[in-house]
Amino acid sequence: MTPLDDPAHRAFLLNDARAALRFFDASLRADGGFDVLAPDGTPLPRGPQELHTTTRMVHSYVLGRAIGHPGADRMIDAGMATLWNRHRDTVNGGYVWAVNGDDSKLAYGHVFVLLAASSAKLVGHPDADRLLADVSEVLETRFWEEEHGLLADEFTVDWQTFSDYRGMNANMHGVEAMLAAFEATDNRLWLDRAGRVLDFFTDHTARAFDWRLPEHYRTGWQVDPEYSGNPMFRPAGTTPGHSFELGRLCLQHWDLCGRPANDAPQRARALIEQAMADGWRADGGVVYTLDLAGKPAISDRYWWPVTEGIGAFASLIKLDARAADAAAYDRLWTFAKSHFVDAERGGWFPEIDEDGHPTARQFNGKPDVYHALQADLYPLIDGLSRPVEGLAALDQK
């Protein structure tokens, strides 16, 4: 029996997901936006409403709806309305990064709009098709670089180029969104484009860097080893949590393609295993970043790399259960339960200090339900793809 088959573990996963959803229910504001919540569940002082927050709430509560969470519809409705009425730029097109804040147009934000629209379509939301059509056009005409088969990264509010930066992170989440769009529409374009992005990063690039993923690139998609931007959102080097995530997405794409006879499973495993070997600290947890040779650079421990490791090893277990995969999965969950999971109030603490206690150096409150919720729910479904359908079937058993 694998850990994914253990009834007690499965019950824990479902209970933790439900507790997180109940906690984040309180984030919905009267104006339809979403507050960041303090660890005790009270709203923190309001800042700009950021696009990734709105979109991830829609996606997360679609997952919640699939497991029968009461009130999921009101969260989805609020997020969809905020995307269309507040984030959408009716003058220049596209979606601003932050309502009442940064009005730049980022690929990272736009692919999350695609994810939200696709997830909403899977549950029949009445506004899903218009959002999906609108953001698809923007991605096609503004961000997609056909020559490279990748997404450009950033523009001003009126679509002026202000940097030559290209990033792995936006493209990785682009794969996530494209796969969701294919699941929602059966439009092969999304599957093919996700495959092109995956080929660049998991076949061409990771193979050349000993199965690590450089984060930063120049206009022609040459690795930029000297780049160091925002230490939270664009740190130098590589990020083990992203290798976990892209490895899982590589398996999802392969599954949706009908499991062809290629080396995608081997590439996914190489990424995931290298990230665990490089990133796992002796005292537990996954370091935030590495240099391009695999040496820890930023050793801070956040919740989301652990959640992505859980999802990645769950996928490997489903594909080809090995004792080492089960051991890694158990190690990640043991650490998460003892350091990140808030068993009293629900949700996960986002970071811990050197002594292993919750802290707030980079993150205020509990900023995100998306990562932990997927770590709870994706291991519960039988397959490697179509999680909304898998969870809905689970809830009906």
CA–CA separation, 343 and 336 (whole Å): 11
Neighbours of 184 (CB within 10 A): 23
User: Which of 87, 125, 339, 371 does the annotation list as catalytic?
Assistant: 371
CA–CA separation, 240 and 254 (whole Å): 21
Look up 357 and say whether it is catalytic: no
Please name the residue ranges forming H helices in the chain: 7-25, 51-66, 72-82, 107-122, 128-138, 168-185, 188-198, 206-208, 240-256, 264-279, 303-320, 323-339, 370-377, 387-396
Quote the distance between the C-alpha of residue 370 and its chain's center: 7
User: Which of 69, 242, 253, 339 does the annotation list as catalytic?
Assistant: 242
Which tokens in the block code for residue 242? 């992203």
CA–CA separation, 244 and 262 (whole Å): 20
Nearest in space to 133 (alpha carbons), one of 79, 198, 82, 185: 185
Look up 125 and say whether it is catalytic: no
Could you say which DSSP state residue 76 is in?
A: H
Please list the active-site residues. Answer: 242, 371
